[in-house]
Structure 1
Amino acid sequence: MHYLHFKTCIDSAIHFKWKNSTIPGSKQAIVAILHKSLADDFKKFCHANSGVLPLLYRSKPGEWKCPSLNSDSDIRTGCLQYRKYEYGAFTGSLNSLKDYSEQLKDMVAFYLGCSSNFEKVLQFPSHFQLMTHTAVPCYSISTFCCNLVVTMRPIPESKLEAAVLATSELKETHGAPIHIGNPGLLGIQDLSKPDYGDPVHLHPGDIPMFWACSVTGIEAIINCRSPLAFTHSSGRMFVTDLKNDSVRLGSSREVPQVHCISQDPLHYSMLSAEAEKKIKTLESLIGIDPGNRGILHLLRPGELLKACLSLSHARSVLVTTGFPTHFNYEPPEENDGPPGALAIVAMLQALEKDVAIVTDQRAMDLNKKIIKEAVQIGVLKEPVPLLSYQRECADSALTFLCENGDPRRTRFDHLIAIERAGMAADGNYYNARKVNIKHLVDPIDELFLAAQTIPGITTTGVGDGGNELGMGKVKDAVKKHIKNGDVIACDVAADFAVVAGVSNWGGYAIACALYVLSTCEIHDRYLRRAVGFSQSPKKTVWLSALPSVTKEEKLLKALVQLEVRSGVSASLEMEVDALPFYNTHSTMIEKLLQEVQH
């Protein structure tokens, strides 16, 4: 009931706000006035969601002036109109609070920054924004709880980064956007039906860009149901003496970068320039060709970055590996793939994401042993669920990936294949020597093919030769530049193709890149929609999840004991793809770690 009161009140004044309230060059503040017994908790609520509720000033009980914001202010008359709430219900509009001077002696005024202050910086007319609720919960404090309220502005795609740069340093007016792309990812069902005001129509080339809105604080006050509370009326905010001066950005390491990570649904992500540089260096490190296979022709710069940005936003990830190239041995698997897969899984576990591994039915026992060893030697903090996939009907893949086969209810947001045998154009599976190993491979490719038709699931393939699942994205280059490529090239494409000299290196690089993203303040803020607290206290946990020479050495020894062989030589030695662990793989691990930790 209180929601309808609030919505009606805001709607009644929304046109005034957009068309008449802007004071050229002057910053404005949202005002909330509460009983002093609630003030400490509301202040904590603001600090807990500081990206949404930038607190400019908190008065003392009965303090009507706010000299730090306005030298000649009186909160009883400082806004042109006020709203009165009793137990969460809107009970009337007031032109002045002087009649409540006695009650105000026991009340505290909060002044919050407002995004209308950066309209001039954006250089877009203020009536081009709308305001609406989301399904994103704020961090709750005591009785203060609500979902995030946002403003949306349609920004031409060519100006996305400029809009982010223009607002990112304006911390007192919400700063950078909290989402760019499909409104459904915020739980907004229809932009043509905003909660407040008129709909905003997007023109061709426009991208919805969302900023946090301080009206969120009013929502929290309504939900608190305090006996008496006041706020300003929409469009009648408190005008300060502060000016909307241009802000100079800090060091280059803090400059935000914007990348599209999905087209369906449309989704952009953000990170700092420094984090982007580190991830590109990681990609460069693993992009060498120690086996002289010609993989330099397969490299696609930027794929590692986009794959890891997508993974960072995922809540549930499915990983697959296993290339039974040694068909004359038992087990036929090679030792390139499982270590890289487990390095990814370890970091995903540390990031508290749901993660599972899917593998061939015949290899279930082997993988159970590998996972058990990985836990014992400290590669994994806990066992990871192990699944298998068989094609039983035309909808098997859809049923596997989605609850009850409903594409609107996906079980996984991201699929990763690393050194996983991939289906060629003729439907067979080939090792590098052009030997068909289809009898040893379950049709896990079908999951990647089905994912192409399900909005909200993205895929990554990691490979080092072109016959791995996901490398269909670079199949033309594989056919042209890789030995036997015309036959062995995988025909199944992933959204992102991470190519490495050894596939395990790709797995290590993904784990390292996820660590870089997790410790990037710009990405962290964007990931949590500016609500709650920074995740940086978990840095030690993430650091311990990174691959290390010691852990990878122990894991490779365990694989040797399980008779999992080197990919090229089939030997049971401390080597992968005929390259010695010591001074080759160990050196690569050290280089990757050095890059992320310096």
Structure 2
Amino acid sequence: MTSSTLAPGLADAARLTPAEARSRFRAGLVTPTAGWSRGYAQANLIAVPREYAFDMLLFAQRNPKPCPVLGVLDAGEVAGPLLAGGDVRTDLPLYTVYADGEKVTDTPDVREHWRDDLVAFLVGCSFTFETALQDAGIRIAHIAQGTNVPMYRTTRRCASAGALSGPLVVSMRPIPAGQVADAVRITSRYPAVHGAPVHVGDPGALGIRDLDAPDFGDPVAIGPGELPVFWACGVTPQAAVMESRPPLAIGHAPGHMLVTDVKDAAYQVP
């Protein structure tokens, strides 16, 4: 990846270690994390009260494409193998707090909202395979344009689990038509971070009316000869929270991920 493929200022962020990146976020830096700590996996966060934890685990098991679980912390735990010496309450750049399914706030520090009965799930993120796409010469529009990845609620329903139900959420990257097959092949080798796309082309087939009006993140420009390619997205559990309305839930703000200590290659299959 050359500096010409990065938004201004992102080259330095790509060279940071995960611990260095997390320290920046802990100090208050708020920014989407696509392109940060090149070569290291990123993860979505969703934390729910213990009484909802089994339902969330079952929801993930029944919907492995959007909800591939990389790790689960015990109730009240804030650190684990994916972030040695870290803290899931402070080490992401931005969080979203929900009460009864309604967004209460976006905040860079959730310690005041945290409870000892919260169980944190770390879910695979498609930012993880973006390095492999770039290494193959596939431009990532939101990184090049310096924006957050666009994400959309779809009309596809996830399999319900206990008290949880909701729609599939997808992220979108415009890919030149001649490189779509390569993008499918490359990302299919990363099943732990959503794997191959769920749809290519017409957004209407997913119930998406306007690519310029994402439900989360920012719109990106789609160039001539590019097709919209959609991957399952780890914001899906938050869509389930919004629909199912548990009394409390804490997630990453979409696009503002946990940068883990695990190499991308650890989630690649032959």
Same fold (TM over 0.5): yes
Match of 2:31 among 2, 6, 16: 16
- Which of 59, 73, 79 in structure 2 is aligned with 1:65? 79
Identify the residue that residue 124 of structure 2 maps to in structure 1.
Answer: 113
Q: Is the 8 A contact 2:32 2:93 kept in 1?
A: no
Q: Does 1:25 align with 2:39?
A: yes
Give the distance between the partners of 2:109 and 2:56, measured in 1 at CA: 24
Residue 229 in structure 1 maps to residue 249 in structure 2: yes
* Residues 93-137 of structure 1: CA deviation (Å, up to 9, x unaligned): 333233345x2x211010001111111111123516421111111
Residue 94 of structure 1 is matched in structure 2 by 107
After superposition, what is the alpha-carbon deviation per residue over 1:138-173, rounded to whole angstroms, capped at 9, x for unaligned? Answer: 111122111111111111111111111110010121
Q: 2:199 aligns with which of 173, 179, 184?
A: 179
* Larger helix fraction of residues: 1
8 Å contact from structure 2 (residues 68, 193) kept in 1: yes
Who is 1:140 aligned against? Answer: 160
* 2:158/2:168 contact within 8 Å kept: yes
Aligned equivalents of 1:94, 1:192: Cα separation in 2: 26
Alpha-carbon distance in 1 for matches of 2:219, 2:257: 22
Q: Which has the higher relative contact order, 1 or 2, with Cα contacts under 8 A spaced 6 or more apart? A: 2
Which position in structure 2 is the counterpart of 1:193? 213
Alpha-carbon distance between aligned partners in 2 of 1:171 and 1:132, rounded to the nearest angstrom: 20
What aligned pairs does 1:237-248 form with structure 2 within 5 A after superposition?
237-245=257-265
Unpaired runs of 5+ residues, structure 1, are 1-14, 251-598
Q: CA deviation at 1:246?
A: 8.2
Count of matched residue pairs: 232
Aligned to 1:162: 182
| Aligned equivalents of 1:228, 1:175: Cα separation in 2 | 30
RMSD: 2.2
Alignment partners' CA distance in 1, 2:110 and 2:267: 35
Partner of 1:125: 140
How far did 1:184 drift? 1.1
Q: Are the counterparts in 2 of residues 119 and 126 from structure 1 also a CA contact under 8 Å? A: no
CA distance in 1, matches of 2:120, 2:150: 26
Displacement after TM superposition at 1:79 (Å):
1.9
For residues 406-435 of structure 1, give each alpha carbon's deviation from its aligned partner in whole angstroms, at most 9, with x where no partner exists: xxxxxxxxxxxxxxxxxxxxxxxxxxxxxx
**Structure 2 match to 1:51:** 65
Quick one: which amino acid aligns to residue 110 of structure 2?
L
Compared CA separation, residues 126 and 136, structure 1 to 2 (3 A): same
Give runs of aligned pairs for residues 388-467 of structure 1, distance below 5 A: none
Q: Secondary structure in 2 aligned to 1:17?
A: coil
Provide the TM-score with structure 2 as the length reference.
Answer: 0.79
Give the match's secondary structure for 1:98. coil
Question: 2: distance between equivalents of 1:76 and 1:196?
Answer: 21
> Is 1:209 matched with 2:229?
yes
- The answer for the alignment partner of 1:524 in structure 2 is none
User: Which structure is higher in strand share?
Assistant: 2
Larger Rg, first or second structure (1 or 2): 1
Q: Aligned partner of 1:95: which letter?
A: P
Residues of 1 paired with 2:164 and 2:222: CA distance?
A: 34
Q: Distance in 2 between matches of 1:28 and 1:222?
A: 23
Q: Residue 77 of structure 1 contacts residue 97 of structure 1 at CA under 8 Å; is this kept in 2?
A: yes
Distance of aligned partners of 1:81 and 1:157 in 2 relative to their CA distance in 1, 3 Å threshold: closer
- Change beyond 3 A, Cα 1:141–1:94: same
Change (3 A) 1:156 1:86: same
Give yes or no for contact 2:166–2:244 (8 Å, CA) kept in 1.
no
Please name the residue that 2:240 is paired with.
220
CA contact (8 A) 2:192 2:267 kept: no
- Percentage of pairs with the same residue: 38
Which whole-Å CA distance do the structure 1 matches of 2:267 and 2:122 have between them? 21
Counterparts of 1:94 and 1:18 in 2: how far apart (Å)?
Answer: 16
The CA deviation string for residues 231-279 of structure 1, in whole angstroms up to 9 with x for no partner, is 12234321210112387764xxxxxxxxxxxxxxxxxxxxxxxxxxxxx
- Tell me: CA distance 1:18–1:183, structure 2 relative to 1, closer, same or farther (3 Å): farther
Tell me how far 1:22 sits from its aligned partner.
Answer: 2.6
Which residue of the partner structure matches residue 82 of structure 1?
A: 95
1:92 to 1:173, Cα distance in 2 relative to 1, 3 A:
same
What corresponds to 1:150 in structure 2?
A: 170
Structure 2 letter corresponding to 1:118? F
Q: 1:43 to 1:126 in 2, by over 3 A?
A: farther
Contact 1:18 1:127 in 2 (8 A): no
Which ranges in structure 2 are unaligned for 5 or more consecutive residues?
1-29, 144-148
Q: 1:229 to 1:206 in 2, by over 3 A?
A: same
Separation of aligned partners in 2, 1:157 and 1:138 = 29
**What's the secondary structure of 1:230's corresponding residue?**
strand
1:176-201 per-residue CA deviation (whole Å, 9 max, x = no partner) reads 00111211111112223322343333
Would the alpha carbon gap of residues 122 and 243 (structure 1) be closer, same or farther in structure 2, given more than 3 Å must change?
same
**Deviation digits for residues 219-240 of structure 1 (CA, Å, limit 9, x no counterpart):** 1112221111111223432121
Give the letter aligned to residue 97 of structure 2: K
Report the TM-score when normalising by structure 1. 0.37
Which letter does structure 2 place at the counterpart of 1:207? Answer: L
